[in-house]
Amino acid sequence: MSPTTKKATSKVVKKKVVAKKAPGKKPVAKKAPAKKSAAKKAPGKKPVAKKTPAKKTTKSTSAQSKALAAKKAKQLKLAADKKKKLAQQVAAKRAKELQAAKLLKIKKAKELKAAKMLQAKKAREAQLIKAKKLREAKELQAKKAKELQLLKAKKARKAAAQAAAKRVAARLKAQAIAKAKKDREIAIKVAAKKKAQEAKAKAQAAVKAKREREIKARIAAREAVVRRKAKEKAMAEAKKLRDQEAKVKAKEAEKLRKQREIDRLNKVEADRVARREAEELKRLEALDRKKNSKPYAGDLAFLEELRELLIAERLVTAAQVADSDAKAEEMLVDRERLEYDDEDGSSVASDIERDQAKEYAAQLRLKTDEIDVALARVADGSYGRCDECYESIGRDRLRFQVPVFLCLKCRANV
């Protein structure tokens, strides 16, 4: 019973020691005696059982590890029991003196081993502590260096941050200035643009208004022109109509006048024609009467007297013609004879004489023919009428000139 309680207590102590060990430095020295006492007490009782738990205690720290240790201890216990039994069996088999010696030997070896192990443990612990201290020092140094570095870095960062902030601020300022400038420019531009747009809009509006005015004026002018033209056209048409009517009237009047004039002229002409025709008829009748007049038809004695005169004249004329012909014949014979011995040109003179004779004969023959005509007229009673004016020829002239066909007046006009 007592060993187990002690074990438990030692365990607790150890645990405490271990816990105290990290922060402090001296506990290591204090701990050693406790451990030693535990080691010294152990040999007296059951070393196997005691050792394992001690080892286990150093390693296990948590409840889990405790349970594991307990289990292990159980296993170990079982093994130990087995071993014990085996040893008991061996011991039973071998001699009892061997058992004692063996036990002693084992015990000694166990003690040696335990001592060795303790020493090794101590050395390990010392090493561990040393290493820990070194590590801690190093860590501290490293920590300090790190802190310094960190501080430096922090400073540098701070400076960098400040510089960056400065730069940023400067940049921001520059940007702000630039932006302000840009904004100003934009504002100016916008203002200018706006102004220009306004001016443009104004100009456009003015142009538009002007155009509209112009269009209105043009439309008004066009309308006025249209109205004027329509008026003019209407007036012109009215005038044309009037003119046409007047023209028609004038034409009709002119036509009427002309027709009247024509009628009048026609009437005048018809009257004149009728008058002329009547005159002509009268004249023709008179002429006919004159032409067919027989001035001395009633005076048969006078006609007989004229007939006798004519016959007498015809006889004379016929005798003259015969005489003349004979003369011409004679002359021709003379001429033929003269042609043979013409020395003094007497033949030429004879020719002229002959031609004269012939001419005379021809005249006489014509007279004969005229007398025959006159005799025929005496027979129908028309002798004594002028062939030109159809008036009667005087009795004296008829008796004196045989034959005669023209009155004294007409004879003088020939």
By CB under 5 A, residue 407 contacts Zn ion: yes
Question: What dihedral angle (degrees, nearest 10) is formed by the CA atoms of 105, 106, 110, 111?
Answer: -30
Binding Zn ion (rule: CB under 5 A), the pick from 360, 389, 394, 401 is 389
Cα(10)–Cα(18) distance, integer angstroms: 12
The smaller minimum CB distance to Zn ion, of residues 10 and 293, is found at 293
Chain positions 138 to 157 lying near Zn ion, rule: CB under 5 A, are none
Least distance to Zn ion, CB of residue 284, Å: 19
Cα(331)–Cα(351) distance, integer angstroms: 8
- Write the interaction track for Zn ion spanning residues 338-377; mark x where CB under 5 A is met and - where it is not: ----------------------------------------
The DSSP code for 62 is S
Measure Cα distances from 123 to 116, 126, 332, 361, 375 in Å.
10, 5, 230, 228, 231
Least distance to Zn ion, CB of residue 299, Å: 19
Cα(397)–Cα(78) distance, integer angstroms: 236
Least distance to Zn ion, CB of residue 393, Å: 7
Phi, psi of 392 (to 5 degrees): -80, 140
By CB under 5 A, residue 398 contacts Zn ion: no
Report the alpha-carbon angle 196-199-203, nearest 5. Answer: 135
Q: Which distant-in-sequence residues (6+ apart) come within 8 Å of 122 by Cβ? A: 32
The smaller minimum CB distance to Zn ion, of residues 35 and 405, is found at 405
47: preceding bond cis by omega (within 30 degrees): no
Report the alpha-carbon angle 409-411-413, nearest 5. Answer: 75
By CB under 5 A, residue 394 contacts Zn ion: no
Piece of 222-230, 252-260, 278-286, 383-391 that binds Zn ion (CB under 5 A): 383-391
By CB under 5 A, residue 386 contacts Zn ion: yes
Cα(29)–Cα(36) distance, integer angstroms: 11
Tokens of 31: 């701990």
Piece of 2-10, 172-180, 366-374, 379-387 that binds Zn ion (CB under 5 A): 379-387
Piece of 33-41, 100-108, 211-219, 381-389 that binds Zn ion (CB under 5 A): 381-389
Q: Which distant-in-sequence residues (6+ apart) come within 8 Å of 358 by Cβ? A: 324, 328
- Tokens 């701070």 correspond to 158
Piece of 117-125, 187-195, 209-217, 405-413 that binds Zn ion (CB under 5 A): 405-413
Least distance to Zn ion, CB of residue 385, Å: 9
Least distance to Zn ion, CB of residue 414, Å: 10
CB 138 within 8 A of CB 130: no
Q: Count how many Cα atoms sit within 13 Å of the Cα of residue 368 in the half-sphere of its side chain.
A: 14
By CB under 5 A, residue 49 contacts Zn ion: no
By CB under 5 A, residue 397 contacts Zn ion: no
The smaller minimum CB distance to Zn ion, of residues 118 and 406, is found at 406
Least distance to Zn ion, CB of residue 399, Å: 17
By CB under 5 A, residue 410 contacts Zn ion: yes
Piece of 118-126, 169-177, 233-241, 386-394 that binds Zn ion (CB under 5 A): 386-394
Least distance to Zn ion, CB of residue 303, Å: 19
Size of the site for Zn ion (CB under 5 A): 5
Kindly list the residues in this chain that would bind Zn ion in the complex (CB under 5 A): 386, 388-389, 407, 410
